[in-house]
Structure 1
Amino acid sequence: MNNAELQALKERYVAAGAASPNKNFAAQAENAIIHDADGNRFIDFAGGIGVLNIGHRHPKVVAAVKAQLDKLMHTCQTVMPYEGYVRVAEALSKVTPVRGHAKVMLANSGAEALENAVKIARAATGRTNVICFDGGYHGRTFMTMAMNGKVKPYQGDFGPMPGTVFRAPYPVPYHGVDEEEALRGLRMTLRTDSAPESTAAIFIEPVLGEGGFYAASPSFLKAVRDICDEHGILMVVDEVQSGFGRTGKMFAIEHSGVEPDMMTMAKSMADGMPISAIVGTDKLMDSSGPNSLGGTYTGSPVSCAAVLAVMDVFATEDILGKSLRLGDKLAKRFADWQERFPFVDNSRNLGAMAAFELVEDKQSRKPRADLAAAVTAKAKENGLILLSCGMHGNTIRFLMPVTIEEDILEEGLAIVEAALQGLS
């Protein structure tokens, strides 16, 4: 079927709230290139929203998935376990920088990982409340919607949110919230909204994902760790978007040297197969009763095979080095654009987790979401999939595979540059 035929079916049968505005339908992809149902070619700078750090259909992942399909597809691991689940748990426990010996629970999505992290934190502490940060994004289930630090489009149509979630400022100096102010706000939240003895955990993204690709400084993360230790609160780090090599380390928290009590991860851990994980210290992960955690499809054998293949790719193909080198290239190009274009500002990156903002001018720093929308639309018109994000909708973020070929990268960046020139 072609794009037009598929679009007609989508409009007739797919719920409007779940439907993409994109009228091109992906038909085939490899590394950083997607072809749609009409044969049009697109360079992918979105990576399925951070899912494809090692590219579309990495050969080792494809081979592992095909091999697993010939053996076992499903039993439900709580009914009859299988090797893949325990091997993934072993592999993740060895690379995840939590305090002490780590244990693992596998789930299906980032939101499901966060939901279970809340459950585990409550079971371990006997407390109910959680504190999250402005601009944070944790999912679309009810608890994670409440945890999100942005109302639209995630909460607006769905009525009251769970009432045990409280908010603190995230440090974004460019928009007027420095580290000192953010810490003051966190301490105030503990004083006025969620008493320490009622707070199970503080959840934080070391780099905001949907919130705009702002990285918390090592000193801020260490201060949050200290506050948690002072009050017996668990520190939970959400690495769903920033994990698995995007920042030049396996996990973004490693840049700070901080060891959290628990971490959540998903997206690029399986190169497109649905799976997520909660990794925490053994005492913490063993705090709830038998059969209290799980789900029918959690830790699918096929997805586990993909995770193990991804781990092999990281071990053998210098993915972290590629991420750092890609980040350096993006930083240089962004700096050039920031110098040339008065509306490009605040370019930033941690490894290949890179972004810049579109503003009225560098003096006012007034966000221009309309310019971001124009850039992403023009990019798509010229064969590039590009995403915006941020609390103000004015950030252009880059999530291309870190395995992207040099000529494809340059072709895509040239399309972005042309779109920026069109704004002048």
Structure 2
Amino acid sequence: MEFDYSDRCKQLQDKLLKFMDEHIYPNEKAYKAEIDRNGVEKGNRWLPTKIIEDLKPLAREQGLWNLFLPKSKRAPEGLSNLDYAPLCEIMGRVSWAPEVFNCSAPDTGNMETLERYATEEHKQQWLEPLLRGEIRSAFAMTEPAVASSDATNIATRIERQGNDYVINGTKWWISGAGDPRCKIFILMGKTDPEAPRHQQQSMILVPADTAGVDIKRPLPVFGYDDAPHGHCEIVFENVRVPASNILLGEGRGFEIAQGRLGPGRIHHCMRAIGVAERALELMCKRLNSRVAFGRRISEQSIWRERVAEARIQIDTARLLTLKAAYMMDTVGNKIAKAEIAMIKVLAPNVAQQVLDWAIQAYGAAGVSDETPLATMWAHNRTLRIADGPDEVHRNAVAKLELAKHMSLPGEDLELPVTRS
């Protein structure tokens, strides 16, 4: 199993680290101030920020654009999952940084979905402007009225009427829907309630300006509205779109979901490791700079234990992420499903623990806006729910592990007696 990065990946790493040092970290407070200023002066915190828009052309000029793209006709220079991992980790250290490089969720997953499953006409209409960073997109799957961790529960109806489909239902926690640049939804809903369980669902393209699409409200996370990205509740009432907007055909929703969510999940994990690394870095700087009870806090055994444990856990999570990425590249997402499920549990939990220790090290400052830690903690906590909760992924891992040791009919379940 080779985890060595390509020469191109190493070059991109160097450029990306320099870009972060020169343009991202120095603008963290200015980014937040601009959002607040938009709210006060323009009455709209959801407006795109000038800081990000000004940095995008610079990122493109330096070749730091659409780095998430796998190899395809549109991206012959696309990176492998393994090569993208360290780049995604670097971007993940600041929550808004991925957008600067056109590598932010949910656009990345939606672009891959369009590339794999959309018609050429739809690729021209939606994928091309997404790749250029001209528009944004959203993925409408989760619903308030059902346990969406079991996607077969999804109740939004997609009904065929002549040459159209008509959509009715409510979605929520739809990331990016509040952005005025969000022009297209990929929506998952039920086309045939009588079909076999995993063939009832379909995915369909819904332009955001279609009549009947009503964004009801933004949904704050631990008090953060996450503007200008955000997460919204949306009502789809008699939304009519052409029948050609269905992806692959009726009943193919789960097939598309598996193709979309595999890369999306590992990208979340890559970014979570970046979050954990930054939290550890901030924690160590704080511990080295403060004195309590006559000695530096970093000299106290409890903190040395936490720093060591943080390093062990982060490196463990990174290695499992790289293994999952390597397997996705070499044997495919389906065979790598156990590794993808395991890292989706491990990485967010590791990041959450390291963030908690870092907040503890900063004391009152850690829960304020003086550091990015509180915001990072709130955002990271959602990852234990997003793209499948921990419990679902653990259940999947357990079933796969138990299946390895399932005896065939006629096999003896008792262990053989051995003599020493």
Name which structure has the greater RCO, CA cutoff 8 Å, separation 6+. Answer: 1
Tell me if TM exceeds 0.5.
no
Normalised by the length of structure 1, the TM-score is 0.26
Normalised by the length of structure 2, the TM-score is 0.26
Q: Normalized per residue, which structure has more helix?
A: 2
